[in-house]
Amino acid sequence: MTRFIGKTAIVTGGSSGIGAAISQRLTNEGAHVIIWDKIPPNDLKKNNSLTHIEVDISNWGSITKAIEKTKLKKLDILICSAGISGPNEKTWEYEISDWFKVFDVNLHGTFFCNKVCTPLMIKNGYGRIINIASIAGKEGNPNASAYSASKAAVIGLTKSLGKELANFPITVNCVTPAAVKTDIFNQMSQEHINYMLSKIPMGRFGAPEEISSLVCWLASSECSFTTGGVFDVSGGRATY
């Protein structure tokens, strides 16, 4: 497929997990992808269509410097995939510093990226924004209140921005996966991992490639009448 020939995309958290799978598929279909991540992807030297910019998305100053370093002629696609799980603790036992850290990355980082990239898309006269939320943002996972609340806020941000840009040829959507087996599992307790698996009717975790296939449709020109949408990839877990 060649849906993204001539397109430029920024993917946050694109060096691993879901972000890496999305970046790979975009480049396979012709896009030039700029990865915003603290660490470079393993295949950076092997893929001429990838560029890496070191960014701390939770820091507005780092975001503005990244835009300057990226030196974009135009921006067509933004995919916000960077995120952390935070500790698995009861809400009343949650450390204040951990709460803020989860929100700084998952919500504030997504907002910063949406904020800085939207004017570039308006100038370009075209854009696709996809924010990676979570089924936890719709249903709320026990022992993951910060993660669940931050991802719920990402859904709200997506809906608001989608409506604000409805008169532009720019769509804004989010994806709400159930648990996908990536390195983020290293941040979780085994008990919590087992809980997430027990909630998926298909009886297995998702694969990053399954998420990337949906994301890349949302990032394509085919997605022209869908904005402010929330798309489940949950193995049957989603209840609404």
Q: Any residues with CB less than 8 A from the CB of 107 and at least 6 apart, and which?
A: 150, 153, 154, 157
Write out the catalytic residue numbers.
147
pLDDT tens-digit readout, 20-35: 999 999 999 999 999 9
User: Any idea where the domains of the chain sit in the sequence?
Assistant: 8-233
Distance in angstroms (rounded) separating the CA atoms of residues 144 and 147 = 5
Per-residue pLDDT, 234: 87
H or E segment at 54? strand 50-54
Per-residue pLDDT, 173: 98
Helix axes 109-124, 60-70, angle to 10 degrees: 30
Per-residue pLDDT, 179: 84
Per-residue pLDDT, 185: 80
Q: For domain 8-233, give the fold.
A: Rossmann fold (3.40.50)
Compute CA 93 distance to the chain's CA centroid, rounded to the nearest angstrom. Answer: 28
Per-residue pLDDT, 58: 97
For the chain, residues with pLDDT lower than 50 are none
